[in-house]
Amino acid sequence: MEFSERELDRIIEMAWEDRTTFDAIEFQFGIKEQEVIELMRKHMKTSSFKMWRKRVTNRSTKHAKKRDFEEGRFKCSRQKAISNNKVSKR
């Protein structure tokens, strides 16, 4: 499957995110976990790929079936609410 540069960047970004599952990547882009791994290997430096694989291997948050929660998004209790489209109040 061919992806635009923007789509490739997004797939790689999603793969790096700890809480974005491979299922979410498959839903959005139609590629399975193994294809994501191959894409990461092809488009990353070897050292970066190895670091990513080490971090992702057996990580429960990258697999929907291994997560402790079913729906919704994780939100830290210390995270401030965003209101009126203001990103931060200093």
74, part of any domain: no
Q: What is the pLDDT of residue 90?
A: 47
- When divided into structural domains, the chain yields a total of 1
User: Is 11 inside any structural domain?
Assistant: yes
The answer to whether residue 70 is domain-embedded is: no
Domain that holds residue 9: 5-65
Q: Which residue has the higher pLDDT, 74 or 5?
A: 5
Q: 17 in a domain, yes or no?
A: yes
pLDDT tens sequence across 56-70 = 887 766 666 655 555
pLDDT at 85: 47
With beta carbons less than 8 A apart as the criterion, state whether 7 and 48 touch: no
* 12 found inside a domain: yes
Phi/psi of residue 71, nearest 5 degrees: -125, 170
| The pLDDT of residue 64 | 60
Q: How many CB atoms lie within 10 A of CB 43?
A: 14
Q: What is the pLDDT of residues 6-53, one digit of tens each?
A: 999 999 999 988 888 888 899 999 999 999 999 999 999 999 999 999
**51 within some domain:** yes
